Amino acid sequence: MGQYIYAVADTGDERTLEIGGIAEAGGNVSIICHRDIGAVVSPSPVTDYAVSRKNTMAHQTVMETVMATAPILPVKFGTVGEDSEVIREKLLADRYDELKAHLAYVADKVELGLKVLWTDPAQAYREIVAEDRQIQKLRDRLNAQKGGARKDQIRLGEMVAGALARKRDALDTRIGSFFDGLWVEHKKNPPMGDRMITHSVFLVARDREGDFDAAVNRLGESTDGQMKIKYVGPVPPNHFIELVVRW
């Protein structure tokens, strides 16, 4: 029986946890250790795991449970070791110095995620038209022509898309200013769909988490209900470190 690996934890306390793992092979999650670091594992066939919601949520839940008691380094989803001793030797012992350095870096930090979306996307389009005289003129001409030429319809769509991108970029910059000085690392993900303005993740010192929370609240108060904020965390630092294990 193989062992599915979720994370490496900053603990030398080898033990079994009261939570089940990702596989249906039975058995709870446990921590197997080398010196003062441990691999978080559960019994699993040596197989490839589908990137399904069920599997990714199980992987994330185990990491979050362990993170509540010790700093962790996330391991890439779907990593399975042949057995406990191989994991102990090839991962924990052979990469001990590297893992300790990474654990020291994340020990006092948390990952926080922020998404900001337009509450009413149609309002954003109305504002774009109201603010851009060239878009207004072309729109009105096409309306007067009951649709107009196909090439002009395409041009109008391109003009609106460009204006929307500029508006999104300006708002994204303004949103980011609320968090200046509050993060150690910051990564942006591409916005998904027309509603999304910002999709960012932040690595934040644990003692600044309260300040970051307050900044999110100030951002929310500044939007006059025109934006919806989705704020998650603390979560494992998946976006800033992910261990890849090659046997």
Residue-wise pLDDT for 181-214, tens only, equals: 999 999 999 888 888 999 999 999 999 999 999 9
CA distance 2 to 58: 17
Phi, psi of 113 (to 5 degrees): -115, 145
Share above pLDDT 70 across residues of the chain, in percent, rounded to a whole number: 98
Using alpha carbons, list the distances in angstroms from residue 27 to 23, 24, 66, 84, 124: 9, 9, 17, 14, 52
Phi, psi of 71 (to 5 degrees): -60, 145
Residue-wise pLDDT for 218-243, tens only, equals: 999 998 888 999 999 999 999 999 99
pLDDT higher than 70, residue 96: yes
- Look at 10-24, 41-55, 139-153 and tell me which has the smallest mean pLDDT: 139-153
Average pLDDT value for the chain: 91
pLDDT higher than 90, residue 63: yes
Q: How high is the pLDDT of residue 148? A: 66
